[in-house]
């Protein structure tokens, strides 16, 4: 029986991190009557623009972190690259959900893959590479082509390099940051999917149907809900996700990214212990968004219903869209089944996530067509 006292509306929720995920979480929280405090080293952040309190401090300033956590009822994350010491400091002053233990595993590829493998979950073959001299032996064991990834602080394709032959070793080691890395076998997959799920402290589990993802230059470009996969594959992906959340005792939202191989079997690519870019479309397409589910879970409230209103597709908007000046928002706004989401970032650098578009339609194919048309209309 769950004896944890719920954290009720009117309470303050602390968010470590201040990007677009925190912004959308803050919007969901404020709609339900909560206050939101955010801490990060930056100013005028996407989260800070809509939060009640924005604290500017380095994550390594543990005194500031303790003071921040002491002023809220619970602390959660909006990205996983928060130092473990920061999470531990916050946990001394307030509940942290998901726990620092979950963060510790998911923010480091080697720990994550070792945890998954030792727990019996399906993962790609991998090998630790601690120095450049170990790379040839690892490549001989894993086989080429393979991909070298930095063990820590990697996202959106950063810190990764595809190795085709021995001539690539030096460039791969430098691309991985010249530090501990993981060599992974290449996977001949049919498509990539993700399952965004939530779990409460009492063990209640909720999920969204698998979402299909397409990437460009290592960055998520298009997400499609529901994924175009057989029902048996979808069910297996959800059950694996449920098992991962239970094994980690997650309280909050966690996304499991999968490769779907051509025979329909699944391999876990990575975990994200937070709302996920692919789940942004749930704000428009589902009864309860991933951000509201995160809020409900960390506040020990029952989860909301996850029913989907209609098939949906989401297209990311990178800074490249601004290359020739201000995008044509009027043209895109004229498409009635498309929603515009912008993150409040002032500097549209190439490759930087500035916002996204979501289209709802009567079919997945129509939603894809509409969202891509809407994105093209921004730069005509």
Task: Quote the domain boundaries for residue 287.
Answer: 189-377
Q: Walk along the chain (380 residues) and give the pLDDT tens digit of each residue.
A: 457 899 999 999 999 999 999 999 999 999 999 999 999 999 999 999 999 999 999 999 999 999 999 999 999 999 888 998 999 999 999 999 999 999 999 999 999 999 999 999 999 999 999 999 999 999 999 999 999 999 986 665 578 999 999 999 999 999 999 999 999 999 999 999 999 999 999 999 999 999 999 999 989 999 999 999 999 999 999 999 999 999 999 999 999 999 999 999 999 999 999 999 999 999 999 999 999 999 999 999 999 999 999 999 999 999 999 999 999 999 999 999 999 999 999 999 999 999 999 999 999 999 999 999 999 999 98
Residue 320 sits in the same domain as residue 245: yes
Helix/strand/coil percent split, the chain, to 5: 35, 30, 40
Indicate the number of domains in the chain.
3
pTM exceeding 0.85: yes
Question: What CATH number corresponds to the domain at position 199?
Answer: 3.30.470.20
Phi, psi of 99 (to 5 degrees): -70, 165
Q: What CATH code is carried by the domain that includes residue 133?
A: 3.30.1490.20
Give residue 13's pLDDT: 98
Q: Is 51 helix (H, G, I), strand (E, B) or coil?
A: coil
Q: What is the pLDDT of residue 1?
A: 44
For residue 11, count other CB atoms closer than 10 A to its CB.
15
pLDDT value of position 155: 60
365 and 258, same domain (yes or no)? yes
**Final residue of a structural domain among 158, 185, 212:** 185
CA of residue 110 relative to chain centroid, distance: 18
Query: Per-residue b/e over 109-137, b at no fewer than 16 CB within 10 Å?
Result: bbebbbbbeeeebebbbbbebeeeeebee
Tell me how far apart the alpha carbons of residues 191 and 175 are, in angstroms, rounded to a whole number: 25
């Amino acid at each position: 029986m769950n004896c944890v006292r719920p954290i009720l509306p009117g309470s303050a929720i602390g968010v470590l991190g201040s990007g677009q995920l925190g912004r959308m979480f803050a919007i969901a929280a404020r709609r339900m009557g909560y206050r939101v405090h955010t801490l990060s080293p930056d100013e005028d952040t996407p989260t800070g623009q809509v939060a009640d309190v924005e604290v500017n401090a380095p994550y390594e300033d543990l005194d500031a972190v303790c003071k921040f956590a002491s002023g809220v009822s619970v602390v959660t994350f909006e990205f996983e690259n928060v130092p473990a010491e920061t999470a531990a400091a916050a946990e001394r002053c307030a509940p942290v959900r998901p726990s620092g233990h979950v963060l510790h595993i998911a923010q480091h590829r080697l720990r994550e893959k070792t945890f998954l493998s030792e727990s019996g979950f399906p993962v790609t073959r991998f090998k630790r590479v601690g120095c450049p001299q170990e790379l040839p032996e690892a490549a001989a064991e894993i086989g080429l082509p393979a991909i070298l990834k930095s063990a820590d602080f990697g996202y959106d394709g950063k810190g990764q390099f595809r190795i085709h032959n021995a001539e690539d070793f030096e460039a791969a080691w430098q691309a991985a940051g010249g530090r501990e890395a993981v060599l992974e076998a290449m996977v001949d997959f049919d498509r990539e999917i993700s399952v965004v799920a939530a779990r409460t402290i009492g063990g209640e589990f909720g999920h969204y149907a698998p979402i299909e993802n397409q990437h460009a230059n290592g960055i998520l470009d298009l997400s499609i809900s529901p994924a175009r996969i057989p029902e048996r594959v979808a069910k297996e992906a959800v059950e694996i996700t449920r098992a991962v959340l239970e094994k980690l005792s997650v309280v909050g939202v966690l996304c499991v990214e999968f490769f779907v191989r051509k025979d329909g079997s699944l391999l876990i690519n990575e975990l994200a212990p937070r709302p996920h870019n692919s789940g942004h479309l749930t704000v428009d397409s589902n009864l309860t968004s991933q951000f509201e589910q995160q809020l409900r879970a960390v506040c020990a409230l029952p989860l909301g219903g996850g029913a989907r209103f209609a098939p949906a597709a989401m297209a990311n908007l990178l800074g490249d869209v601004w290359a020739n000046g201000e995008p044509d928002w009027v043209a895109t706004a004229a498409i009635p089944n498309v929603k515009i989401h912008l993150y409040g970032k002032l500097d549209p650098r190439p490759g930087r996530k500035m916002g996204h578009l979501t289209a709802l339609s009567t079919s997945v194919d129509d939603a894809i067509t509409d969202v891509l048309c809407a994105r093209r209309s921004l730069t005509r």
